[in-house]
Structure 1
Amino acid sequence: MRNTFPAQRARRSNLTRSPKRPSPPPMQLGMIGLGKMGANMGRRLMRDGHEVVGFDLDESAVQALEDDGATGAPALEALVDELEPPRVCWMMVPAGDAVDATLGDLLPHLDEGDIVVDGGNSNYKDTLRRAGRAEEHGLHYVDVGTSGGVWGLEEGYSMMVGGPDAAVDQLRPALTTLAPGPDKGWGHMGDVGSGHFVKMVHNGIEYGVMQAYAEGFDIMKSKEKFDLDLQKVAETWRFGSVVRSWLLDLTARALEEGQDLSGIEPWVDDSGEGRWTVKEAIDLDVPAPVITDALISRLDSRVEDSYTHKLLAAMRNQFGGHDVKSSDE
């Protein structure tokens, strides 16, 4: 029988389960940015009884979420008007200028005490600057480093939260719904900026772990004498091995489609967090050779052809739905 992905449910034990606590009451929030993450987060919230008002520049994305039970908004001002104060506006837009633009468009319509959440992969330094801007308007700013990718709708999201205690407490009903469990998979890291800082380091570690897997499988593929079935190797390691992990689960899943990874170009993109982690390590005089080498390898992937980089690209596609370059592009 084929094993279920991606969770290794065999690890769960009644001995480790904490007593079930009553669920917090549902809440209302606006979800801004209905891409792969934002739309599915909205759906997970609605499944648990929360009220979601959704907005995206893509009208079809708004309509799709509206079809699933959300209230669609044609503009940010309309989204704010649909929310009862104190409002919660949760941004899931690409890091960078889009966050600044969205925040700038929101600020004139919000009132003192409202909460703005940035759930994207923003640089924590930008988060600190934006929090200052929000505070000038009497708003609370909360940063939520979010991991879970395309699997989060069913498995839950890991969330690293930064911000004032009162604002995080107000968000608790949504956080406990979005997380894998009410008391696991999310945590209040500290002051504003700390959530995105921890998520940045999380992604830097992810670079290193992925690189080690990809290099190891490349070594095994190159040992032609044994003609190894790499998918079988991955399946064997998934249970009982000290290197078992969700990334290994997804590696096994990618290899199910053919261990030659034909059709995938060995081009591994990076969305910035690895670079930020390496820069931070340098600023703090903390040696981080594994993360640094993994970042350099991703840059190398753009000028050379290797199985390592094909598998790295396949892994990113598995956990985050990130695009891969096909060999005919």
Structure 2
Amino acid sequence: MELAMIGLGRMGANMAERLVRGGHTVRGYDPGEAARQQAEARGIVPHANLQNAVAALPTPRVVWLMVPAGQVVDDTIAQLRPLLAAGDMVIDGGNSNYKDTQRRGAQLAEAGIHYIDCGTSGGVWGLAEGYSLMIGGDADAVARLQPVFATLAPTPQTGWGHVGPSGAGHFAKMIHNGIEYGMMQAYAEGFAILKHKQAMDFDLGALAEIWRHGSVVRSWLLDLTADALKRNPQMDGIAPYVADSGEGRWTVAEAIDLNVSAPVITLSLLERLRSRDDDSYADKLLAAMRNEFGGHAVKQG
């Protein structure tokens, strides 16, 4: 199959290369000339502008978007819309909010254009290991794209599937990332407790390696954690600042809207927010309160 990949950052370029390795023709566009040159070295056919990339495609056209969530997606669709016709398919493989996806899908459907949302997990390892793909949208359009999804997935039969109507793929990916927040927080807290038990002098990398085999907490995330601990057991050079890309916030908001209790995911998000305050006013006020009611000593900063 032939398609255009719009956005040749690390994730988009890796996905495009995996498709090329699987026998597909991938035309690529990115506003950065360096990104286009690097993509060409990986077997992707680069185009200097969006119009040329789309015009070169056979019909029905398939365009895969790997651009940042939010306004950039809307801007890209606005550029694409005059270049597309009924029967063409646009896939959003980024981390868009599912409500935005539903809106975009309804708008493009008026012109007979299929908008497919593909929640994509696999990160930097996807090129070698394959991607987990959660796909929403019209079932017939998804079926036509089966060769693409089967190539990107870990195997043609596993790691991907049509999960529901427009927005369902991005909704599933949102919850996937919320679960990921909780898992990461649990691992981080557990290893922090082990590290602080200095009398036992745990080798955290070695312990993680033990858990990787046979333990009920084994996972790919633990595999990656074990590697990180072996390379840098003291986490030297890493600031205690944890970013979030939005899906955790959306997951918590959705849980509230649906009256679903999700304390672990919610607290893991709050811990990420807390990590960014290196001069916590709240902590200072807590220390002052303890001093006021109990005369407890205040550590001078």
Same fold (TM over 0.5): yes
Which of 171, 174, 179 is the matching residue for 2:145? 171
Per the TM alignment, residue 280 of structure 1 is displaced from its structure 2 partner at its CA by 0.2
Q: Aligned ranges for residues 7-46 of structure 1 at < 5 Å?
A: 27-46=1-20
Q: Which amino acid aligns with 1:92?
A: M
Which of 126, 129, 153 is the matching residue for 1:155? 129
Which of 198, 204, 220 is the matching residue for 1:224? 198
Q: Is the 8 A contact 1:37 1:92 kept in 2?
A: yes
Q: Give the Cα–Cα distance (whole angstroms) in 2 for the partners of residues 200 and 191 of structure 1.
A: 15
Q: Is the 8 A contact 1:116 1:141 kept in 2?
A: yes
Per the TM alignment, residue 122 of structure 1 is displaced from its structure 2 partner at its CA by 0.3
**TM-score of the aligned structures, taking structure 1 as reference length:** 0.84
Other structure's SS at 2:277 match = coil
Per the TM alignment, residue 138 of structure 1 is displaced from its structure 2 partner at its CA by 1.5
Q: Is the 8 A contact 1:107 1:137 kept in 2?
A: no
Q: Which amino acid aligns with 1:194?
A: A
Q: Give the Cα–Cα distance (whole angstroms) in 1 for the partners of residues 123 and 190 of structure 2.
A: 24
Aligned length: 279
Structure 1 vs Structure 2: percent identity of aligned residues? 61
Which of 268, 274, 284 is the matching residue for 1:300? 274
Q: Give the Cα–Cα distance (whole angstroms) in 1 for the partners of residues 102 and 175 of structure 2.
A: 17
Higher relative contact order (CA 8 A, sep 6+): 1
Match of 1:237 in 2: 211
Other structure's SS at 1:225 match = helix
Q: Is the 8 A contact 1:31 1:89 kept in 2?
A: yes
Other structure's SS at 2:269 match = helix
Unaligned runs of 5+ in 2: 280-301
Match of 1:272 in 2: 246
Q: Which amino acid aligns with 1:60?
A: A
Which of 232, 245, 250 is the matching residue for 1:258? 232
Per the TM alignment, residue 68 of structure 1 is displaced from its structure 2 partner at its CA by 2.1
Q: Which has the larger radius of gyration?
A: 2
Q: Give the Cα–Cα distance (whole angstroms) in 1 for the partners of residues 207 and 230 of structure 2.
A: 11
**Structure 1 runs, 4 residues or longer, greater than 2 Å off:** none
Match of 1:310 in 2: none
Match of 1:126 in 2: 100
Match of 1:185 in 2: 159
Match of 1:86 in 2: 60
Other structure's SS at 2:199 match = coil
Per the TM alignment, residue 112 of structure 1 is displaced from its structure 2 partner at its CA by 0.9
Per the TM alignment, residue 304 of structure 1 is displaced from its structure 2 partner at its CA by 4.6
Q: Give the Cα–Cα distance (whole angstroms) in 2 for the partners of residues 40 and 71 of structure 1.
A: 14
Q: Is the 8 A contact 1:45 1:174 kept in 2?
A: yes
CA offsets 1:39-82 (integer angstroms, 9 cap, x no match): 00000000011000000011111111112222111111101111
Other structure's SS at 2:218 match = coil
Q: Give the Cα–Cα distance (whole angstroms) in 2 for the partners of residues 295 and 69 of structure 1.
A: 39
Q: Give the Cα–Cα distance (whole angstroms) in 2 for the partners of residues 103 and 212 of structure 1.
A: 39
**TM-score of the aligned structures, taking structure 2 as reference length:** 0.91
Q: Give the Cα–Cα distance (whole angstroms) in 2 for the partners of residues 256 and 55 of structure 1.
A: 39
Other structure's SS at 1:244 match = coil
Q: Cα RMSD over matched residues?
A: 0.9
Q: Give the Cα–Cα distance (whole angstroms) in 2 for the partners of residues 169 and 240 of structure 1.
A: 38
Match of 2:30 in 1: 56
